Amino acid sequence: MFFVFVLLDLIFYTLVNANYFIEILVTHEFELERFTSSFPFVAAILMLLTRYACIYFNKDVIQKILNSVPKEYNKLKLQQFKIDKLLMNFQRFIKFHRYLNLNAITYAFLMVTFSFIKTGQKNFPFEIKFPFDAFESGIYPILLIWVLFSHSLYAFTMVTTENVTYGLIIIVSAELKMLAADFRLLRKKSIDIVKCIKRQNELYDIVEELQRIFGIYFFINFLLSSILICFTAFTGTISPDPLSLIFSAIFCLLTMLQIFIQCFFGQILYDANLNLVDSIYECGWENMKDINLKKILILVIMRSQKCVAFSLFGFWKITLEQFQSVSF
């Protein structure tokens, strides 16, 4: 139902701006301000649709991944290796992210409401241009309510879908940390080593599966978010309305936050794998008397040195280093 609503909303935005693109073809006059004010909303809806589609059409695979995770953990082990702090920090992130997105939308609409009550000036919370007079007394309230409802729904869905995406990353990262702890405490028992190696292969397969599911979204998010930051900053600087500058700044910060959060969780996974590599190397393989086990662990070390991280179709790793290159 939600997917249909967002798709209809995207079609509506396209039809609203269709006459503008027709004018470009007829008159060959390109109005940059109009384009930069229309593009952010279409791009934001496209990103949301992509992420929702990635989760919806791969829900069976995601459920299979969740089923492969142990239902219960040893609390003492969680505390010993500080994995409980990782999970608590993720819970704090969920609360903060929900608070930030929903309150940013609320603040934007309160600014418009107070401005209308105090001065009678009609505005939208973001720079939206319609091919008709949207400020007529009969149309303006309907459009304002529609924009409020759609953007609130987008903010809520953005938070929930991101929680699913990054929750899966946290689960895999926690499992890698647990596996690293097992390798550090590894005894000279082949059955223990076999279990650890088997679990490592399973986790690497899960990472590849998540890359397949969310790879297209990661790429679109990076591409469109980078363009959105430029367009939103440009729209805010050329608009004479101070409210537009405030709203553009909010939108720009939220867009920048999207890239940062994606890189931040990518860094968590990247660091968890590096920790696993160090743990395997420090498990005491060189002192093992069993030559076969020693050879197996050497092969495991060689495979673990392969970079396990999300990437943009293999071009760039999604880490904080990549965020620095995008933001600066």
Whole-angstrom Cα distance, residue 213 to residue 196?
26
* pLDDT single digits (tens) 199-242: 888 888 899 999 999 988 888 888 888 887 777 777 667 666 66
**Sequence-ordered alpha helix ranges (H) in the chain:** 2-16, 18-27, 32-56, 59-67, 75-80, 83-119, 140-184, 190-238, 242-281, 291-304, 320-327
Instruction: Say whether pLDDT at 189 is over 70.
Output: no
| Angle, CA of 310, 316 and 320, to the nearest 5° | 75
Report pLDDT digits (tens) over 253-309: 777 887 888 888 889 899 888 888 888 777 776 777 777 777 777 788 777 777 778
Better pLDDT: 171 or 92: 171
pLDDT tens digits for range 103-124: 666 666 677 777 777 777 777 6
Distance of CA 268 to the CA centre of its chain: 14
Instruction: State residue 317 phi and psi, 5-degree precision.
Output: -75, 140
State the pLDDT confidence band at 328, using cuts at 50, 70 and 90: low
Q: pTM of this prediction? A: 0.76
Q: What digits encode the pLDDT tens for the residues 17-70?
A: 555 555 555 555 555 555 555 666 667 777 777 887 888 888 888 888 888 776
Average pLDDT, the chain: 74
Residue 102 near residue 155 (C-beta atoms within 8 A): yes
Q: How far apart are CA 180 and CA 171, in angstroms?
A: 14
- Whole-angstrom distance, CA of residue 124 vs CA of residue 243: 9
On the CB side of 85, CA atoms within 13 Å amount to: 6
pLDDT computed for residue 58 by the predictor: 87
The confidence score (pLDDT) of residue 26 equals 56
Residue 102 Cα distances to 107, 124, 159, 312, angstroms: 9, 17, 9, 29
Residue 104's nearest CA partner among 263, 262, 249, 264 is 249
Residue 311, classed as helix, strand or coil, is strand
Residue 327: per-residue pLDDT: 57
Residue 159 pLDDT grade (very low, low, confident, very high; cuts 50, 70, 90): confident
**Helix 190-238 and helix 59-67: axis angle, to 10°?**
140
Work out the pLDDT band at 150, boundaries 50, 70, 90: confident
| 13 or 284, higher pLDDT | 284
Q: Identify the pLDDT of residue 166.
A: 85
Long-range Cβ contacts of 281-285 (<8 Å, 24+ apart): 282/183, 282/184, 283/183, 283/184, 283/186, 284/186
Residue 318: band (very low, low, confident or very high) from pLDDT cuts 50, 70, 90: confident
Q: How far apart are the first and last CA of the chain?
A: 39
What is the dihedral sign for C-alpha 8, 9, 10, 14? positive
Cα-based torsion angle of the residue sequence 209, 214, 215, 216 in order, rounded to the nearest 10 degrees: 140
**In contact, 322 and 310? CB cutoff 8 Å:** no
> Which span out of 182-191, 243-252, 267-276 was modeled with the highest average pLDDT?
267-276
The single-letter code of the amino acid at 260 is F
What is the spatial distance between Cα 161 and Cα 286, in angstroms, rounded to a whole number? 45
Residue 254 has a pLDDT of 75
For residue 319, pLDDT beyond 60: yes
